[in-house]
Chain A
Amino acid sequence: MQVELNVNGRSIAVDVEPRCTLLDCLREEIGLKGTHAGCEHGVCGACTILLNGEPVRSCLMLAVQGDGHAITTIEGLNPSPGELIVLQDAFCETHGMQCGYCTPGMILAGQALLARTLSPSRAEIVDAISGNICRCTGYGQIVEAIALAAERLRTANQKPGGA
């Protein structure tokens, strides 16, 4: 089936089997390998993408269902090659990962939260990533990364030391 997908701001025509998941389409047809297969039954969140800004599991969606929606993958966050956004940089600062496999999904889930609020409570951060399983970190440094990014974004245009 011919589908026109809007991925990371680019319109891409792909020819996929109707049964092809959006996850497989992104990885195998479009070549965006940053979206990962974890459980392929919608629990672990490693395949998280943003669909019109909301975190969605790409393993539970067919590629053909993506037609007409704005899809953002981890590759779509970077302003330019080698340049990190604030949240990615915060993950590096707190070392909010180990093996990195769940990390793209975590960052997209965090990014969706930060789009809603720049003053998330710890409980809100935990809630936002509770659909993403990490086996390495125990979540502590991930929660810290999102809180740090929120703080940096919140205070970005304030005078140093100013109220």
Chain B
Amino acid sequence: MAGTAEFKYVSHKRRVREDRRFVSGQAIYVSDVAPPGTLHAAVLTSPYACARIVAIDASDAMAMPGVHLVVGGPELAAGSDPLLIGVDAPLVTRYPLAVGRARYAGEWVVAVVADSRALAEDAREKVRVDYEPLPFLLDGEAAYKPDSTPVHPDHGSNVLLDKRFVWGDVDKAFAAAPHKLAYRVKWGRSATVPIETFGVVASWDPWREMLDVWASIQMPKFADQIARALRMPLNSVRVHQDVDVGGSYGVKRGIKHTVLAGYLSRRLSRPVKLIEDRLENMRGGDMHGPERVFDIELAFDGTGLVHAMRMRALDNVGAYAGRSPLQLGKPVGAIVGPYRIGAVAYHAIAVTTNKTPQEAVRGFGQAPTNYAIETGIDRVAETLGLDRLEVRRRNFIRADEFPYLIPSGSTYDSGDYHTVVRKALDHAGWETLVAERDKLRASGLLAGIGVASCLEPSGGNSSFEPLLNAKNTTTTWMESCRIMVDALGTITVTIHTTSSGQGHETLAATVAGEALQIDPDRIRVVRATSLESLPGNSPVGSRMAIMLGGAVHHAANKVRDKLMAIAGHRLEVPARNLRYRNGGVEDSASGRAIEWIDLVTLAHRHFHLLPPGMAPGIAFDHTMQVPTGEKLPTADGRVQMYPCYSFEFHVVLVSIDPEIGKPHIHRYVIGHDCGTVINPDIVRGMTLGGIAHGIGAALLEEFAFDGEGQLVAQSFMDYLLPSAHEVPEVEIVHHVTPSPHTVLGQKGSGESGYLGAPAALSGAINDAVRHLNIRFEALPMRISAIGDAIAEATPPPALKEVIA
């Protein structure tokens, strides 16, 4: 791997320190947390997609022994403030429990608290709720029509977001282009669906006036939102960030869960635990992902160069707005993908319907957008009869064009797309792959090759907030680190966030070790509670390698600088003559040195030997703003979104059994460039896991609703997750184009694989069925859909003869 030689620990294979507690069953997840006296909550949910809640009668439930409290929406709403929403729609109010009206089947209506979860569930069955069913709305396009019945009558319509952007002279480019095409693709409602459901323990101590929270979260400004909703000072909320989170990939936001549990705990002055069961999670966990329809037009010339794009994206975000409509905003930062498309018009629409609300899903809207763009590039090639790879190569931004400003205002930091593609194709053996495909075809199967090239914007700031909501003027999106060197010379790094499998402890130790030239295995990493934390925004937007890595690096450099100053004073040598080496400081002229432990002793015990004015001890903080995240959007909607842009190129060979429509992946190769890799095993795992998740979104997973608005895919028998049988062996080809914006050249990789896999699989399946004159333009492409389409396209001749 390029660049490894210059690092001692970074980029080298090193074990992930978190793993020991996981393999031994010793991790502590939220369901393992049980303060003395913990009570358990269960929720009763709405059976209707839309209904007025006429009355709630909890008397029978409250009469049961061991039942402590039953709370409905009106009581909760009187004692708390609405949850924050991302867009400017103040009348789309949302509380953890439905208030007056249930807006989707599965919405929480009543919470029951009892001595045990089983008892809470028993009592839940005794709660009587009278509903008056109301008309409901499920379709996004129907919801966008001005005469549709609003899910939130006070808001007046179903439109949460309806923004048009024009970057560059789109109309002129379309008028001038010799070729145009228009197409529609749909991204189905799926999500990351972690194996651990969402859970929270909230414990109010009335004597100390403190609400302690243990939660399975991945949420920026989590404690702030709890404090606001519960009308508490923020320093009365203490979030314990050392809880292991059993997977998230975006969705573990849990605000409504925590506000509810916090409210219940305050009412009872007892710890209250709320752990979703799988049904609660699927229906009312509010963690569905984008359900998006793209209408796209491309203007291109006879060589395949795409000059302009018009994209309309309509997202059915469900019954309430959280951060979900903002998922239409992040893709603005990579709206042209890796291509030199010079002018873009973008129309972003988010509408409410009576479906389960959405939450952030891995990539925050980028994977659907990438799928939409890649479908178009394949269609351009098909229209012109050109090679798909050649069309991509012609449109790629060239390595010598970086930094590259795209029409929507983001500057891509670095990349070498042509080289990554070449390396991946060399590895895959394109000719061999084509021969293999043709052999599969000759054997009677349908077979196709898919390719996809796309970007992973990384570094996570919040520029999409002010872009889509003028009332939000946030530009700050920081991350922090504290490093302490104790009196015995051991190092402790404090991080200020939860983790859900990203290996942040390993990341922090590796980067600190690299900067201080000390074995990372000797560095302790701990997590502060939110009250002890420095400012941070949690691991979202593929940001932690960049932001936590950056904060650790800068804090470690402050440690080094102090040691150098102490040594310079002691040795009476000017700073320019000093060299930091493996923890000690050396006078390069005389060779005299002071070793680590002696420098530490000077700092901790010998104030009289420190430079005048220097504070004792060794403890440094660093709080870092996202690189390039400096400005609000311009009036015409141009903004620098994320600082760094990782690149990936997928090649996949798929065959389909024409009788049953089942796809089988024969070969999967990905070329991947996320700049400097900090831990190779972690990056590899992210990429492989992202591809598996992409396979799910492309082929299996969908939160399907029936005509009555009932979620029909509400268990793992209906909502199918890829098993080891469905995920092939994936071959990764690495390339390193360092980012100029980061301390080690690193970029993000937390969303890799997922961002391009659905596009690649769609390409492969469409390649397999092209000769049948059918197309798949919606995800997921389930076995049944593939089988039915093939059957329709190929009349069974044998059967006809029999009938004749």
Interfacial residues, chain A to chain B (CB-CB below 8 A):
17, 19-20, 27, 32-41, 43-44, 46, 73-75, 77-78, 84, 88-89, 91-95, 97-104, 107, 122, 126-127, 129-143
Contacts and interface: CB of A to CB of B under 8 A. Distances in A.
B32 interface: yes
B277 interface: yes
Interface in B23-58: 23-29, 31-32
A149 to B, nearest CB: 11
A139 B692 contact: yes
A38 B278 CA distance: 7
**CB-based closest 5 A-B pairs:** A34-B25, A100-B22, A98-B501, A101-B246, A99-B501
A92 to B, nearest CB: 4
B24 A99 contact: no
Contacts of A93: 15
Chain B binding surface, main DSSP class: loop
Interface residues of B, number: 58
Contacts of A98: 247, 500-503, 685-686, 689
Given A17-B118, A100-B18, A101-B195, A133 B721 contact: yes
Nearest to A94: B681
Contact of A133 (B197, B502, B723): B723
B192 interface: yes
B118 to A, nearest CB: 7
Interface of B: 15-16, 18-29, 31-32, 118, 192-197, 244-249, 275, 277-278, 500-503, 681-682, 684-686, 688-693, 715-717, 721, 723-725, 727, 729-730, 753
Given A38-B195, A99-B246, A44 B716 contact: yes
A10 to B, nearest CB: 16
Contact of B22 (A35, A75, A97, A139): A97
A40 B118 CA distance: 14
B430 to A, nearest CB: 23
Contact of B725 (A94, A104, A130, A138): A130
A135 B693 contact: yes
A149 B247 CA distance: 25
Pick from B24, B32, B245, B248 the residue with the most CB of A within 10 Å. Answer: B24
B19 A97 contact: yes
Contact of B25 (A40, A74, A89, A142): A74
Nearest to A133: B721
Pick from A32, A41, A127 the residue with the most CB of B within 10 Å. Answer: A41
Contacts of B689: 98, 134-138
B724 A37 contact: no
B688 A137 contact: yes
B245 A92 contact: no
Contacts of B22: 97, 99-100, 103
Contacts of A46: 195-196
Given A84-B20, A133-B723, A35 B25 contact: yes
Given A92-B23, A137-B688, 15 more contacts: A33-B31, A36-B246, A38-B195, A44-B195, A84-B20, A95-B16, A97-B501, A98-B686, A98-B689, A99-B194, A135-B721, A138-B693, A139-B688, A140-B684, A141-B684
Contact of B195 (A41, A135, A138): A135
Given A91-B19, A138-B692, A141-B685, A43 B247 contact: no
A135 B23 contact: no
A95 B501 contact: no
A92 B15 contact: yes
Contacts of A131: 723
Contacts of A37: 31, 197, 275
A88 B24 contact: yes
24 contacts: A17-B118, A33-B28, A34-B24, A36-B29, A39-B195, A43-B715, A43-B717, A75-B25, A84-B20, A91-B23, A92-B15, A92-B16, A98-B501, A100-B246, A133-B716, A134-B689, A135-B247, A135-B692, A136-B247, A136-B501, A138-B688, A138-B692, A139-B688, A141-B684
